[in-house]
Structure 1
Amino acid sequence: MSWQDELEELKRREALAEEMGGPEKVARQHSRGKMDARARLAALVDDGSFREIGKIAGVARYDDNGDLEAITPAPYLFGKALINGRPVVATADDFTIRGGAADAGIRRKMLQAEQMAHELKLPIIRMIDGTGGGGSVKTLEQIGATYIPAVPGWGDVVKNLDTVPVVALALGPTAGLGAARIVASHYSIMVKGLSQIFAAGPAVVDGLGAAYKGSDDHQQAKEELGGSDIHTRNGVVDDEVGSEAEAFARARHFLSFMPEHVGQLARRSNCTDPVDRREEALLSLVPREEKQVYSMRRCLDMVFDRGTVFEIGRNWGRACITALARLDGWPVFVLASDPSYLGGSWEAKTSEKVERFVKLADQFRLPIVHLVDNPGFMIGREAEIAGTIRYGVQAMNAVYKATVPLASIVMRRAYGIAGSAMSNAERYQYRYCWPSGDWGSLPIAGGLEVAYKSELEAAEDPEAELEAIRARLDKVTSPFRSAERFNVEDIIDPRDTRPLLCEFADLAWRRLAS
Structure 2
Amino acid sequence: MKDPEIMGDGVNRRLDLIKDHLSPKDAPSSIDEAYEKSEWKDTLDTVKGRRNKNRQPDNNNHGYVRQKTQGKLWVRERIIALVDKQTFREIGSTAGNAKYDEKGKALDYTPANFISGTAKVNQRDVVIAADDFSIRAGHADGAVWGKSLYTEQLARKLKIPLIRLIDGSSGGGSVTLALKNGTYLPPLIGMHDSIASLSEIPVVAAALGPTVGLGAARATLTHFSVMASKVGSLFAAGPPVVANATYETVTKQELGGALLHTSNGTIDNLVETEEECFEQIRQFLSYLPNNTTKLPPRGTQNDIVDRCDDRLLDIIPKRRQRSYQVREILELVLDQGSWFEIGERWGEGAVCGFGRLNGYAVGILAFDCSKTGSVISTAGSQKFRRHIDLCEVFGLPIVNFADYAGFTIGTKAEKEATIRYGSTLIAALYQGDVPYFSVVLRKVFGVAGAAFVDNRIPNMRVAWPSGDWGSLPLEGGIYAAYKRELDAAGENRNKLYESILAQFEAVRSPVRTAENFDIPEIIDPRHTRPILCDWVRLMYENILPGRLEKVKVNGPKILYRP
| Contact 1:46 1:84 survives alignment (8 Å) | yes
Structure 2 counterpart of 1:323, one-letter code: G
Match of residue 193 from structure 2: 156
Is residue 2:146 matched to residue 1:72?
no
**1:146-185 counterparts in 2 under 5 A?**
146-185=183-222
Instruction: Report Cα offsets for 1:428-460 as digits up to 9, x if no partner.
Output: 111010111000111111021342345443599
Match of residue 204 from structure 1: 241
1:286 is matched with which residue: 316, 320, 336? Answer: 316
Question: C-alpha distance in 1, partners of 2:58/2:458?
Answer: 59
**1:219-234 counterparts in 2 under 5 A?**
221-234=251-264
Match of residue 70 from structure 2: 32
Instruction: Report Cα offsets for 1:35-58 as digits up to 9, x if no partner.
Output: 011111111111110000001011
Deviation at 1:19, TM superposition (A): 3.3
Instruction: Report Cα offsets for 1:182-231 as digits up to 9, x if no partner.
Output: 111000011113111111111101112x1x6234xxxxx11111111111
Structure 2 counterpart of 1:438, one-letter code: D
TM-score under structure 1 normalisation?
Answer: 0.95
Q: Which moved more, 1:148-157 or 1:302-311?
A: 148-157
Q: Which moved more, 1:14-23 or 1:92-101?
A: 14-23
Instruction: Report Cα offsets for 1:379-435 as digits up to 9, x if no partner.
Output: 111111000001111111101111110000000001101101214445111101011
CA, structure 1 residues 64+465, in 2 after alignment: closer, same or farther (shift >3 Å)?
A: closer
User: What CA RMSD, in Å, does the superposition of the two structures yield over aligned residues?
Assistant: 1.6
Deviation at 1:18, TM superposition (A): 1.6
| Contact 2:429 2:455 survives alignment (8 Å) | no
Question: C-alpha distance in 1, partners of 2:395/2:49?
Answer: 47
Structure 2 counterpart of 1:398, one-letter code: A
Q: Which moved more, 1:424-433 or 1:196-205?
A: 424-433
Match of residue 190 from structure 1: 227
Match of residue 530 from structure 2: 499
**1:94-493 counterparts in 2 under 5 A?**
94-143=132-181, 145-208=182-245, 210=246, 213-215=248-250, 221-456=251-486, 457=488, 461-493=492-524
| Contact 1:128 1:169 survives alignment (8 Å) | yes
CA, structure 1 residues 23+51, in 2 after alignment: closer, same or farther (shift >3 Å)?
A: farther
Question: C-alpha distance in 1, partners of 2:489/2:288?
Answer: 63
**1:26-65 counterparts in 2 under 5 A?**
26-63=64-101, 65=103
| Contact 2:463 2:521 survives alignment (8 Å) | yes
| Contact 1:408 1:430 survives alignment (8 Å) | yes
| Contact 1:372 1:409 survives alignment (8 Å) | yes
Is residue 2:50 matched to residue 1:18?
no
Question: C-alpha distance in 1, partners of 2:124/2:171?
Answer: 30
Match of residue 544 from structure 2: 512
Structure 2 counterpart of 1:443, one-letter code: P
Unaligned runs of 5+ in 1: 216-220
Structure 2 counterpart of 1:213, one-letter code: E
Deviation at 1:7, TM superposition (A): 2.9
CA, structure 1 residues 412+190, in 2 after alignment: closer, same or farther (shift >3 Å)?
A: same
Structure 2 counterpart of 1:104, one-letter code: G
Question: C-alpha distance in 1, partners of 2:175/2:298?
Answer: 51
Question: C-alpha distance in 1, partners of 2:60/2:118?
Answer: 26
Question: C-alpha distance in 2, partners of 1:138/1:65?
Answer: 27
| Contact 2:489 2:496 survives alignment (8 Å) | no
CA, structure 1 residues 459+104, in 2 after alignment: closer, same or farther (shift >3 Å)?
A: closer
Instruction: Report Cα offsets for 1:355-379 as digits up to 9, x if no partner.
Output: 0010000000000000011111011
Question: C-alpha distance in 2, partners of 1:458/1:180?
Answer: 60
CA, structure 1 residues 20+159, in 2 after alignment: closer, same or farther (shift >3 Å)?
A: farther
Question: C-alpha distance in 1, partners of 2:60/2:196?
Answer: 38
Instruction: Report Cα offsets for 1:335-374 as digits up to 9, x if no partner.
Output: 0111011012100000001000100000000000000111
| Contact 1:41 1:91 survives alignment (8 Å) | no
Secondary structure, counterpart of 1:349 in structure 2: helix
What number of residue pairs does the alignment pair up? 506
| Contact 2:127 2:163 survives alignment (8 Å) | yes
Secondary structure, counterpart of 1:340 in structure 2: helix
Question: C-alpha distance in 2, partners of 1:105/1:406?
Answer: 46
CA, structure 1 residues 365+54, in 2 after alignment: closer, same or farther (shift >3 Å)?
A: same
Instruction: Report Cα offsets for 1:153-172 as digits up to 9, x if no partner.
Output: 11110121121000011110
CA, structure 1 residues 54+425, in 2 after alignment: closer, same or farther (shift >3 Å)?
A: closer
| Contact 1:193 1:227 survives alignment (8 Å) | no
Structure 1 counterpart of 2:111, one-letter code: P
CA, structure 1 residues 64+462, in 2 after alignment: closer, same or farther (shift >3 Å)?
A: closer
- What is the percentage of aligned positions where both structures have the same residue? 43
| Contact 2:145 2:171 survives alignment (8 Å) | no
Structure 2 counterpart of 1:117, one-letter code: A
Secondary structure, counterpart of 2:521 in structure 1: coil
Deviation at 1:477, TM superposition (A): 1.5
Structure 2 counterpart of 1:480, one-letter code: V
| Contact 2:138 2:167 survives alignment (8 Å) | yes
Question: C-alpha distance in 2, partners of 1:357/1:453?
Answer: 40
| Contact 1:282 1:494 survives alignment (8 Å) | yes
